[in-house]
């Protein structure tokens, strides 16, 4: 099995229960998440050695988050420091009212931490893959610079790099962080890119083309010589609770893979489904499966995450195999 390091912020999610609006009720449902942590949890459940490099505040909130990751078998390389916990609020949608995410993570312990060379080098020891997403550099100057340094160090060590575009316009707007320049620099180091046409348009500077993913992938391969594979999910939204999901992967050689389409209805929780997809594809590639099989595992993980509340997917390798094999919905005894 492969050793994977995921770098990013851990968050507490505060969600309105049921389908209520924010503050319609005095209660919140609390869960732990964060894009990179979601990937690490899934990979740990798939049997890989998964680490998370992060910074958390001293105190019970930081302790709670660390305990949750350790419960899933994730190696938490957390730096404890002064500061606050990053939060986000989820207003769950219904029917034709979309869900909404409200961030409260400015000046968090992670966003303000200045990473030392020793912290970076110790985290990378023995690692086969490094996983980052576009969320992390959007958090501010310290986080963006840490991404650059981490990728430089990983490249020097021959560590394979996967990058998820995960463009968050709300977060970039808070500090005018030049997302085009910074994301282009980070994507240039990746051999595996999780991105759609919008992510590529942000970085390479034009509007999404009508022919979508194939055109975006061709532009990415031309711009990023290290890139070997680019993949994404393709989602058709019939309502908030009813989607159709498929996925595509294109190799630098020109080989293209498409996964079957699946109907998802009713959706329990859409948050974290892209992270589950990334973990499933990575799992397949780490197991040296053909691209088509790795893509289908990623789509299986994403589809199954739609059925699970919270940020984190909880599918096992057996769940993925059963999904791909279409073994039905009978009670397992």
What pLDDT sits at residue 112?
95
57 pairs with which residues across the strands? 81
Mean pLDDT of 155-160: 97
Q: What's the longest Cα–Cα distance across the chain?
A: 55
What pLDDT sits at residue 330?
62
Active site residue 275: yes
pLDDT per position as a tens digit, 112-152: 999 999 999 999 999 999 999 999 999 999 999 999 999 99
- Residue 102 maps to a domain: yes
Q: What is the pLDDT of the chain when averaged over all its residues?
A: 93
- Residue 82 maps to a domain: yes
Calpha distance 285→291 (Å, rounded): 7
Q: Choose the catalytic residue: 275, 291, 311, 322.
A: 275
Query: Considering only CA atoms, which of 123, 201, 134 is closest in space to residue 164?
Result: 134
Tokens 């049997």, residue?
47
- Lowest mean pLDDT segment, chosen from 57-61, 173-177, 243-247: 173-177
Calpha distance 109→97 (Å, rounded): 33
Vertex 160, ends 198 and 8: CA angle to 5°? 60
pLDDT tier for residue 177 given thresholds of 50, 70 and 90? confident
Residue 192 has pLDDT above 90, yes or no: yes
Query: Considering only CA atoms, which of 204, 212, 202 is closest in space to residue 235?
Result: 212
What pLDDT sits at residue 176?
84
- How many domains does one find in the chain? 1
The CATH number linked to 14 is: 3.40.1190.30
Calpha distance 78→66 (Å, rounded): 8
Q: Which residues contact 185 (CB under 8 A, 6 or more apart)?
A: 148
pLDDT tier for residue 321 given thresholds of 50, 70 and 90? very high
Determine the 3-state secondary structure of 189 from DSSP: coil
What pLDDT sits at residue 1?
78
Q: Pairing relation of β-strands 100-104 and 75-81?
A: unpaired
Mean pLDDT of 177-181: 91
- Residue 195 maps to a domain: no
What pLDDT sits at residue 268?
94
H/E element, 100: strand 100-104
Mean pLDDT of 220-225: 97
- Residue 9 maps to a domain: yes
- Residue 88 maps to a domain: yes
Calpha distance 31→102 (Å, rounded): 15
pLDDT tier for residue 328 given thresholds of 50, 70 and 90? low
Strand ranges for the chain from DSSP E: 3-7, 11-15, 29-33, 49-57, 75-81, 86-91, 100-104, 129-133, 160-164, 192-194, 229-239, 242-251, 256-258, 262-264
Q: Is 160 exposed, middle or buried (0-12, 13-18, 19+ CB in 10 A)?
A: buried
Express as a percent the part of the chain with pLDDT over 70.
96
At residue 114, what are phi and psi to the nearest 5 degrees?
Answer: -100, 110
- Residue 284 maps to a domain: no
Give the structural domain span for 104: 1-38+53-113
Q: Which is more confident, 95 or 300?
A: 300
Residue 257 has pLDDT above 60, yes or no: yes
DSSP symbol at 28: -
């Amino acid at each position: 099995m492969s050793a994977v390091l995921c770098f990013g912020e851990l968050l507490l999610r505060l969600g309105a229960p049921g389908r209520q609006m924010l503050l319609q009720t005095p209660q919140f449902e609390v869960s732990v998440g964060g894009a990179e942590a979601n990937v690490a949890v899934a990979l740990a459940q798939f049997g890989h050695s998964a680490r998370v490099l992060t910074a958390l505040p001293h105190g019970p909130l930081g302790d709670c988050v660390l305990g949750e990751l350790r419960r899933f078998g994730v190696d938490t390389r957390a730096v404890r420091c002064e500061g606050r916990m990053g939060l986000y609020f989820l207003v769950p949608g219904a029917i034709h009212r979309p869900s909404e995410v409200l961030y409260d993570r400015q000046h968090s312990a992670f966003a303000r931490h200045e990473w030392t060379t020793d912290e970076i080098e110790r985290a990378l020891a023995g690692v086969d893959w490094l996983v980052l997403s576009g969320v992390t550099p959007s958090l501010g100057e310290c986080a963006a610079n840490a991404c650059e340094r981490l990728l430089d160090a990983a490249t020097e060590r021959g560590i394979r790099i996967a990058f998820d575009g995960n463009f968050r316009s709300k977060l970039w707007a808070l500090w005018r962080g030049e997302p085009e320049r910074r994301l282009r620099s980070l994507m240039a180091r990746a051999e595996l890119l999780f991105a759609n046409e919008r992510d590529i348009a942000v970085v390479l500077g034009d509007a999404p083309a009508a022919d979508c993913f194939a055109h975006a992938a061709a532009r990415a391969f031309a711009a990023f010589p290290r890139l070997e594979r680019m993949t994404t999910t393709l989602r058709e939204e019939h309502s908030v609770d009813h989607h159709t999901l498929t996925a595509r992967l294109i190799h630098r050689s020109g080989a293209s893979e498409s996964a079957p389409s699946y109907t998802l209805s009713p959706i329990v929780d859409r948050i974290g489904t892209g992270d589950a997809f990334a973990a499933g594809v990575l799992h397949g590639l780490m197991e040296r499966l053909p691209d088509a099989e790795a893509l289908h595992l990623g789509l299986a993980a994403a589809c199954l995450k739609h059925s699970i509340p919270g940020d984190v997917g909880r599918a096992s390798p057996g769940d993925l195999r059963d999904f791909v094999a279409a073994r039905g919905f009978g009670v397992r005894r």
